[in-house]
Amino acid sequence: MPKIAIILGSTRPGRNGEAVAQWVLDLAKQRSDAEFELVDIADYKLPHLDEAMPPSMGQYSQPHTHAWAEKIASFDGFVFVTPEYNHSTSGALKNAIDFLFKEWNDKAAGFVSYGAVGGARAVEHLRLVMGELKVADVRNQVTLSLATDFKNYSEFAPADFHEPEVHAMLDQVISWSNALASVRVPAAA
């Protein structure tokens, strides 16, 4: 059974992403076709990228990088929960992604985004990044509007039609995670 991380991609105080990520996890846990775990990048306290060697070399020197690499290597696929800031993802999420390379390779990813236009532009940016990391991003995604899926732009209240969207995206992430298992090489943490 594949192990899927739901990665909370914001570290901002009072972030909307915490409620969104918990909602995705709650829906995912209704399923029996994968294991799911919420991974909050804030828990890893990653500074700005501080490794001397490129991540593709896998020669990590910092304890925080080793802990992050071990966590990401343990998964078969990912669901990124991302805000949209200035037509892109959060700097904190991009930084966390950039710390590693091999640990991301040959896995699948789906996206749940939120923002003024549902966070769609943040996902488009992440799709480019995933391609470089050899991550197969799935077509289905969930876009949540700050105007209609949050009361006063801060209290999460998703429209009912988003629940089947989450499951459709998870169907694809799980399917692709299983398909990529045959090409996945265990990452050295």
Amino acid at 87: H
Per CATH, the number for 3-180 is: 3.40.50.360
Phi, psi for residue 143 in degrees, rounded to 5: -115, 125
Q: What distances in angstroms separate CA 35 from CA 75, 102, 170, 178, 187, one per listed residue?
A: 9, 21, 11, 12, 19
Mean pLDDT in order along the chain per 10 residues (189 residues): 98 96 98 98 98 96 98 98 97 98 98 96 98 98 97 96 98 98 72
What is the reported pLDDT for 184? 87
